[in-house]
Structure 1
Amino acid sequence: MLKDAIEAILALQPAYSAANTPAMQRRGRLVRRVLPQALLAHHATLAAALGPYGEDLRIEGRDGLGSKSATPWVRFFSRARSPKARDGWYCVYLFAAAGDGLYLSLAHGSTTWGPGGFRPRPPEEMAGLRDWGRQALGVVDEPGRAPALALGGSTLGASYEQASILALRYATGAIPEDAALLADARRFASYLRRIHAAEDAAASAQPRRHLGGQGT
């Protein structure tokens, strides 16, 4: 079940270590297998909410490469639009380092890969992506939306905070039942559909703008 997997991950967050301790091994199985499999049980529902972008819906979780991350995550996404978590737009569950809650976020990849590993994208680049994403998303009716993310724990967590354009927070001890979690995930999948549709519209408009600029 979604709720059970989420609560089990949150319970292990206070035992965080960069080393692969027994607690982090348990957390890794939950993040990389159990929660993704619980979401996979609802693949058809999420794919339908994504519309044409749900044909290649994928679900994955990560808890760090080598050293363990203080902010594990599980995301659902279009493989064509976001082949790697550092690229493109997707929906993602982000677990706060302190274990006091998690977020369901609509976000863009916030890092690049280079010498030394992952690096946060420059602040001005992230600001431009957020501005575009919010404009593409338009008005949404989410009364419980989180005003900002507070993940804590690392520079990587801070980059995730800057990548979000819409999020819901679930507090530890008040995780909703699976039906409510799924309803939220379905809505966020529909918001991701809006983003991808706006990307397509922008791409198709570019040649027309180019031709129009030539004039007659």
Structure 2
Amino acid sequence: MDDLLGKVLDLQGVWTASNTDEMRRRGVHIRQDLPALLKERSAGLADALGVSVDELGVEGRDGTGLKTEIPWVRVFGRERSPSATTGWYVVYLFSAGGERVYLSLNQGTTVWTGGEFKARKVADLQARVGWARPHFAEQTVGRTDLRREIRLDARTSLGRGYEPGNVIAIEYSRTALPSQDVLIADLLYMLGLLRTVYEAERLAPHIPGDPTPEVLEAERSAAVVAGRRNRREARPAPSGQGFRLTAAERRAIERRSVAAATAFFEAQGWSVKDVGNRESYDLQLQRGDERLHAEVKGTTSTGHDVILTRAEVEKQRQYYPDNALVVVHSIVLDRTSKEPVASGGVLVCTSPWSIADEDLTVISYAYRTALGGDAARRDLNAALNVATRG
């Protein structure tokens, strides 16, 4: 294995986007030789990652057509990271000039919204890195060879894009590549860290840097209703991504947010009535001659975006200034028990609440076709169709 890594590093020094003889040899090493060598150890790799052999993925890429500056070979869980653009994985990344290769716990740089892949911002990648590292902190005690930053010396934006996604890495110098036994031991160790991240992701209702769960669910629902297809997404989004909420989890979050809002208003002397089952708002408040109509939104995210229906927007505009928006964000969701339990959260109340058009983002449209007698377009601004930024 050390021999193959060395051969790839030597060919990095003559990289070109054209498919030269050198780049063809590099492609064979990346796409065939290295993956084949690793697959011979599938049982041990799968055991370290905590998945079945069938669930273990090993692949290498060096560019289709034009040759990429930074080739890679990754090891991953197929369900958690169905493509290199999504999820977490362990990957060999070769520096542009061939001076070094990294064994990096890294991540995909896009997120699937149900209609398209959206690129993650560098700040979001770094937020996810900050979330992941504490989960395996105990496993890294005593390892002085781990790097928090990697340097690929890439000239292309694609090549540079791997650097902010790095969670932790081991660096190997071309002039001091360790033996195959050491390389395999390091790979098993890194897969153990990845296993910890996978487990933490499975239990996390929201990961910093990820889009707001409710907005993603709305976008996906809108895409499904519209019959949107995307050939790049051959199967549903990976179940390991923490932003996916079940119906029971959504109910738990809703109950927690309404309870927090009720306690908040009662502490201020308001008489509170929960009318969410029959009105287009959640709480009806009275304090002497004062009246207030409150919309309550709960989320496990930081609450930058919440979903409003068309009816909610219209009602709150009608009730202004006797209205309020209560966002209970950063709710803690315990998924370990049979029934999810929501607790905690930070309450932010806006009252009076004026809804400006520029704070509304249309997620989908209803279009009246000629079959309906009118081909005019109309904006629904309805359930799962409008997001407002808090």
TM-score normalized with structure 2 length: 0.51
Query: What per-residue deviation string (whole Å, max 9, x for no partner) do you get for residues 25-74 of structure 1?
Result: 00000000001111111111110011147650110000012211111000
Quick check: which one's helix share is greater? 1
Establish whether residue 11 from structure 1 lines up as the match of residue 10 from structure 2: yes
Instruction: Indicate if the aligned counterparts of 2:135 and 2:197 stay in contact, CA closer than 8 A.
Output: yes
Deviates more, 1:104-113 or 1:24-33: 104-113
How does 1:88-167 map onto structure 2 within 5 Å? Answer: 88-111=87-110, 121-139=120-138, 140-141=140-141, 142-153=143-154, 154-167=156-169
Query: What per-residue deviation string (whole Å, max 9, x for no partner) do you get for residues 160-196 of structure 1?
Result: 0110010000000211111100000000000000001
AA partner of residue 85 (structure 2)? R
Cα distance, 1:3 vs structure 2? 1.1
Cα distance, 1:119 vs structure 2? 9.0
2:101 is paired with a residue whose SS is strand
Query: What per-residue deviation string (whole Å, max 9, x for no partner) do you get for residues 91-144 of structure 1?
Result: 00000000001000001112579xxxx996312221222122223333413211
Q: Which has the higher contact order (CA 8 A, sep 6+)?
A: 1
AA partner of residue 108 (structure 1)? Q
Instruction: Indicate if the aligned counterparts of 1:53 and 1:196 stay in contact, CA closer than 8 A.
Output: no
Instruction: Indicate if the aligned counterparts of 1:120 and 1:156 stay in contact, CA closer than 8 A.
Output: no
- Judged with a 3 Å threshold, the aligned counterparts in structure 2 of structure 1 residues 131 and 86 are, in CA distance, closer, same or farther, namely same
Aligned equivalent of 1:179: 181
AA partner of residue 181 (structure 1)? L
- Judged with a 3 Å threshold, the aligned counterparts in structure 2 of structure 1 residues 213 and 119 are, in CA distance, closer, same or farther, namely closer
Question: How far apart, in 2, do the equivalents of 1:147 and 1:32 lie?
Answer: 27
Establish whether residue 199 from structure 1 lines up as the match of residue 201 from structure 2: yes
Aligned equivalent of 1:46: 45
Instruction: Indicate if the aligned counterparts of 1:100 and 1:172 stay in contact, CA closer than 8 A.
Output: yes
Question: How far apart, in 2, do the equivalents of 1:176 and 1:190 lie?
Answer: 20
How does 1:59-70 map onto structure 2 within 5 Å? Answer: 59-70=58-69
Question: How far apart, in 1, do the equivalents of 2:22 and 2:185 lie?
Answer: 31
Alignment size in residue pairs: 211
AA partner of residue 168 (structure 1)? I
TM-score normalized with structure 1 length: 0.89
2:8 is paired with a residue whose SS is helix
Could you say what the CA RMSD is over the residues aligned between the two structures, in angstroms? 2.5
% same residue: 37
2:83 is paired with a residue whose SS is coil
